Structure 1
């Protein structure tokens, strides 16, 4: 019994050491690299947004708003493609017959609501609209806005198609929110054959009693993506292109 116990302790120690020294494959930014930003919208990033009460602390701690803007700005300077994957809900989405936990919450607080897919009535400066800081960049020719994703990942929109059609095979991922749409985009893009890195301070997440979405996401970013950047690191690399 003592030998078995010792063996178990040794195995646990070896496994812990392996995880403490996880490999970092790295990520080289080149001409086939694009930035993907999820949900750069008022409901997440504005103090007037419906989710600010739970995400605001994380957004401020990470300087998320300014860091996302830095990505837009350097991409414009270097004519680098940026793909924005937005989150919109229309009237018919509110008739879904079943929903996950946060789908129920988002629908109940009317997060990302728009009147319908073909109308922009009451859209300007609504919760579903872009944060004002970003509009000057999103309107530029180097930015492609995809169709909306509906839950968290890009399986329901045309992001992968748009990336492929532009000859992109490497993605720098940022946006909101870390453990939901950003992480889901990371997972699906990797499964779809893209090389993916994440900018850890150009995202944020909800913090609730006993639940920290940002910390949960950091673990998975490190374990799953090719590399985890800071905004400063990404900007410096893109400057060299």
Structure 2
């Protein structure tokens, strides 16, 4: 383990390797919330997430994963986060839910209304659109808090014969960790790409580091983007 960094060394993990081997015939790339409000300086949450996104080169790494997954011919799915006007009538919520509602994060006019959606904070990052809008990528119904329990991600993956998931996207200690936990509990083998995500930096602490610790304890694999690209190439 590195003596100069608080992060676990990806090449010298302290815990045993569970031994996950990528099988392209049953694998999918799942990218969570690849949206402007998270990943762009124009997004409403950049002041909280921008430092971590920049540090880990998250935007570039997610793009590399999209491209490699398409070349490999595996299933690709996106699990987005949208809030409609009716969602703002919820009577309770956690701290981050309150923040998202207050700043209008992921806001849309309605589930059947695309007015003002294009290039809004809820829209996909422009450089990812060629991969997401190619007519082949699964775009699930939205998750509403953090995990995929409220959307059709697991159903879509099962219907495509997927049992292994490469997980990336935003945010590390929130939606990514929640997706990881739920997918594991429902029988998927899950690898998290550690530098294709990022977390909030707040006075309460480093969300990325908090997630990284949990990823190392519970994920079937914790890979770098470089490692993942190699596996997608069959190397």
From 18, 22, 29, the equivalent of 2:15 is 22
Structure 1 CA distance for aligned equivalents of residues 46 and 180 of structure 2: 23
Which of 29, 34, 38 is matched with 1:40 structurally? 34
- Aligned partner of 2:232 among 214, 222, 238: 238
Residue 148 of structure 2 corresponds to residue 148 of structure 1: no
Q: Deviation of residue 142 (structure 1)?
A: 3.6
Deviation at 1:190, TM superposition (A): 0.3
Structure 1: segments with no counterpart, 5+ residues:
1-19
The correspondence of residues 94-133 of structure 1 with structure 2, limited to 5 A, is 94-133=88-127
User: Normalising by structure 1, what TM-score?
Assistant: 0.90
Question: What is the number of residues matched between the two proteins?
Answer: 222
Alpha-carbon deviation of 1:27? 1.9
Could you tell me which residue of structure 2 aligns to residue 64 of structure 1? 58
Q: State the shift of 1:76 in Å.
A: 1.3
Instruction: Note the 1:212-227 alignment, pairs <5 A.
Output: 212-227=206-221
> Which deviates more, 173-182 or 205-214?
205-214
TM (norm. structure 2) is 0.92
The question of 1:228 aligning with 2:225 is answered: no
1:211 aligned partner:
205
1:138 matched to 2:132? The reply is yes
Structure 1 counterpart of 2:178: 184
Which of 1 and 2 has greater Rg?
A: 1
Distance across 2 between alignment mates of 1:29 and 1:82: 15
Give the Å deviation of 1:143.
1.2
In the alignment, the residues of structure 1 paired with residue 136 and residue 28 of structure 2 have an alpha-carbon distance, to the nearest angstrom, of 10
Partners of 2:135 and 2:20 lie apart in 1 by: 26
How far does residue 116 in structure 1 lie from its aligned partner after superposition?
0.2
Aligned to 2:161: 167
User: Cα offset for 1:29?
Assistant: 1.2
Pairwise CA RMSD of aligned residues? 1.1
Structure 2 Cα separation of the partners of residues 117 and 96 of structure 1: 16
Deviation at 1:141, TM superposition (A): 3.8
**Runs of at least 4 residues off by over 3 Å:** none
Higher helix fraction: Structure 1 or Structure 2? Answer: 1
Task: Give the whole-Å Cα distance in 1 for the aligned partners of 2:63 and 2:114.
Answer: 24
Following the alignment from structure 1 to structure 2, what is the Cα–Cα distance between the partners of residues 112 and 27?
A: 34
